[in-house]
Structure 1
Amino acid sequence: MRIIDLHPGYDQIIQHIAEMLVDSFNEHSPDAWPTMESALEEVGESFGEDRISRVAVDDSGTVMGWAGAIKTYDGNVWELHPLVVSANARGHSIGRTLVEDIENQVFERGGLTLWVGCDDEDGLTSVGGLDLYPNPLEHLSKIRNLAAHPFEFYQKLGFVIVGIMPDANGPGKPDIYLAKRISGREGRERERLRNRRNKRNKRKKLKSYLAGDFQLNCQSRTMAEPAN
């Protein structure tokens, strides 16, 4: 698989991407791109000056996924939009790879933060289907994933929840905001190594604790046993 810039002249690829948008969002966000016309318009907008548009293709040129980003706040912050993976390619880390590629693209452009909005239009989380006012942040602090909502996918990639817009898509249909600091490939590798070290240290501490607890139990049992 390779990830390349999407250009206006890639007619066949653009057609495949538009079909993916319509098919992939039809179930949970049917109003996002309900027609091929709206999907093709979305792809066309991704060629703007302040946009990033990247497509994942396999060795035969088949489209596996598409991701884009929109420049905001004078380039300090970029919005990840959209992200879509072909139904046939899901479960193979295509989405993760596309997000990491967008991070690299944003990093190279001097971006500091990447954010994404995750709509909940059909009650996939504990904040969906509710009147979140007057305390939306209280509801957000207790958010639970009820049915494979993608916000946890982004959390696994280092994003954190930073806010929520109640009723963004209609009553009881909020948009959940997540963001992360951009560090590029080297920064992500350092983060992975740090996480690995932390996990090793936790395992060592657990082993040490268990060993000490075992010795303490043995000593206590020895002291408690009556002498013959």
Structure 2
Amino acid sequence: MTAPIPLIAGNWKMNGLAAALSEAKVVAAGAGESRARVALCPPATLIERMSAALAGSPVLVGGQDCHAEASGAFTGDISAEMLADAGARLVIVGHSERRAGHGEDDAAVAAKARAALRGGLEPIVCVGETLEERKAGKALTVVTGQVKGSLPPEMAGSAFAVAYEPVWAIGSGLTPSIAEIEEVHRAIRETLVAMFGDHGAAQPILYGGSVKPANAAEILAAAEVGGALVGGASLKAADFLGIVGAV
């Protein structure tokens, strides 16, 4: 059984103009010695320019979302094929900010994950519970339900990652305990193996939610944590490389 290769992915969210490409170049220069795969997911406006700037480097470029359809009358949306055409290799789907702010349910996320595969992209599928759900003791039920509902059968045989991001920890400075992270990651792994067999055991499960250089080593050493999906700390090369170096 193949152990998952760690993945450290930076989600720039709605941040970054052309000047920010200099930070990406610093990341690329410092990421070559890492045993993890490293990715940056900038706004769509920067994907093509970042792909060109990082050509030949070990850093992958990804998108932050994609539409389920390949083309059509969907003003303002971007398809997986368009992301790939701009140089993206991965795409985040199902982030809690999309689920909460854009009303995306598991079925919509699964359709986007299916579209990512169709477009030749590696999907990073996000799952996570709210603070209310955790306080009610429903964290494992919610998260494993999202995994089952958000990962289509087509994932079998294709590269993907699942990112566990407790909604209450994103951007808040709060993080679950290591024991809580391990409990959820183990439940996700069991679900992936039940769905995809050995292939489900070989895909990385990332942790996201206020990951910083100061806590990265402890989190990345936790059982079944196969990398990180990093928000704010990915905007500064020094911080992001501190996390990459903790693998």
Classify the TM-score, shorter chain.
under 0.3
| TM-score, L = length of structure 1 | 0.26
- Higher strand fraction: Structure 1 or Structure 2? 1
